[in-house]
Amino acid sequence: MFIDIHVHPAFYEPINEDARREALRHDALDIHLNGTAPLQHIFNQMRCAGLDRLCLLPEDYSTEHGSPLVTNEEIKRLVDMDPNRFIGFAGVDPLAEGAADKMEQAFGDLKLKGLKLHPSRQHFYPSDERLDPIYDMCEKYHRPIIFHSGMSWEPNTLAKYSRPIEFEELAAARPGLKICLAHFGWPWVQETAMLMLKYPNVYADTGMLYFDNALEFFKRIFNHDIPVTWIDRSLRHQVMFGSNNPRFEQIRMADAISRLGFRESTLELIKGGNAIEFLGGLEDTFTPDGSGEK
């Protein structure tokens, strides 16, 4: 099972019936070179990259734009079109009124599998006590959180909110809450590794490509900044493949991660095993009292 834990479906054709919303998404995300993609194109790209499942991440910047760029309901629509390929995450603007109620609906009614937050864009520190109701809801439903961490190319972002060290207080205070530091917290990748070493509830994904090509950049990160042995020997259960598509091409990212010298057993964990653990399984959902149900 090969899972891409970090995919943005903002330009998938089925949720782009409105040309004005599509134009807003291009501007708000600073992605301009790609058009909308029919699902068959997405499936062809998955086949070429060897991918089995995609985790679809929304964007809710309601404070900035008045409404989400990609809604939880749109994510649910896509998942329902192909639940064997798509895994849906929820989004919320954590500082907006009614954010906790929105999470209750996303997890309880829409059955979305996790939460995506972007501290740099939404302008909050992870330890901000105003987010406690959001974290409480994630723990109530046993849902993990993918946080943007490190650099962001999106407009109106400040990296100071997403530096990996800012997540330590949250990781320490809520050991039962699984969190993923997206993009490996680049450029602070050693800080990310430190947090993963200390806190087994901290994961990271590989959705980073800021210079060179995918293989050259990954070699720099995983052969020099973080030696392959660090992953192979100590962090092998906490790294997940992520492409950050459509900003980066899945095919090249998937090929590069396979050519870095990881043991085959470690590569299998990175490509899917760790994501399944992070998600709490692929099929089960959880009721608020913690009991599992199909």
Which residues does 149 contact at the CB level (< 8 Å), separation at least 6? 119, 162, 163, 164, 167, 181, 182, 183, 184, 185, 192
* Structure confidence at residue 28 (pLDDT): 75
- Span 258-270, mean pLDDT? 96
User: Which tops the pLDDT comparison, 292 or 209?
Assistant: 209
Provide the pLDDT confidence category of residue 289 given band limits of 50, 70 and 90.
Answer: very low
Q: Spelled out in words, what is the top-level CATH class assigned to the domain 3-293? A: alpha beta
pTM, 2 dp = 0.94
Contact 225, 194 (CB under 8 A): no
* Structure confidence at residue 242 (pLDDT): 98
Name the residue ranges covered by the structural domains of the chain: 3-293
End-to-end CA distance of the chain: 20
Q: Is the peptide bond before 246 cis (omega within 30 degrees of 0)?
A: yes
Mean predicted lDDT score pLDDT of the chain: 93
Helix (H, G, I), strand (E, B) or coil at 116: strand
